[in-house]
């Protein structure tokens, strides 16, 4: 994942057999969307509540993935619609940023949408930037 411009809100993810763009559709909302590189329409979006403690990823075929964010955006747990823990992302404190991704249960949702992990990672990066700007 890389940012094409210096202060860009758009991130480009290469891999998983394709190239994707993670964007913020509007400046005023906290929604994050993903689309194929060069396309105009997004096929999935991530929305959170006001305090950014819970969120959902709406996928293209009507499925939803639930998110639960830890304190200070240091962890993120990804649940299926039936509240089964699929993936957890932990941010470890060190001199360099270190994130540990743990897959707890294999699922067809994660297999079909591997870009979902990078979308959540983008969300964690943006949350850290916004938190640092407010301090």
The 10s digit of each residue's pLDDT in 62-86 is 999 999 998 777 889 999 999 999 9
Q: How confident is the model at residue 120 (pLDDT cuts 50, 70, 90)?
A: very high
Q: What is the pLDDT of residues 16-54, one digit of tens each?
A: 889 999 999 888 888 999 999 999 999 999 999 888 889
Please, is 113 exposed, middle or buried when counting C-beta atoms within 10 Å of its C-beta (0-12, 13-18, 19+)?
buried
Residue 135 has pLDDT above 70, yes or no: no
Domain boundaries, given as residue ranges, for the chain: 11-134
Tokens read off for 11: 């991130």
Which DSSP string corresponds to 36-66? Answer: ETT-SS-SEEEEE-TTSSEEEEE-TTS-EEE
Mean pLDDT of 96-111: 90
Q: How confident is the model at residue 113 (pLDDT cuts 50, 70, 90)?
A: very high
pTM, two decimal places: 0.86
Question: Cα–Cα distance between 124 and 73 in angstroms, integer?
Answer: 6
Residue 133 has pLDDT above 60, yes or no: no
Q: What is the pLDDT of residues 49-66, one digit of tens each?
A: 888 889 999 998 899 999
Mean pLDDT of 99-111: 92
User: pLDDT at position 132, please?
Assistant: 55
More confident residue, 7 or 99: 99
Mean pLDDT of 5-15: 87
């Amino acid at each position: 994942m890389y940012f094409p411009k210096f202060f860009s809100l758009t991130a480009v993810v290469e891999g998983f057999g394709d190239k994707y763009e993670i964007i913020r559709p509007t400046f005023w909302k906290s929604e994050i969307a993903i689309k194929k590189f060069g396309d105009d329409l997004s096929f999935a979006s991530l929305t959170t509540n006001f305090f950014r403690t819970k969120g959902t990823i709406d996928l293209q075929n009507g499925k939803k993935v639930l998110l639960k964010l830890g304190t200070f955006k240091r962890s993120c747990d990804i649940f299926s619609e039936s509240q089964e823990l699929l993936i957890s992302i932990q941010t470890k404190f060190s001199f360099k940023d270190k994130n540990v991704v743990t897959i707890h249960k294999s699922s067809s949702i994660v297999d079909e949408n591997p870009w979902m992990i990078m979308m959540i990672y983008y969300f964690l990066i943006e949350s850290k930037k916004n938190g640092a700007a407010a301090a």
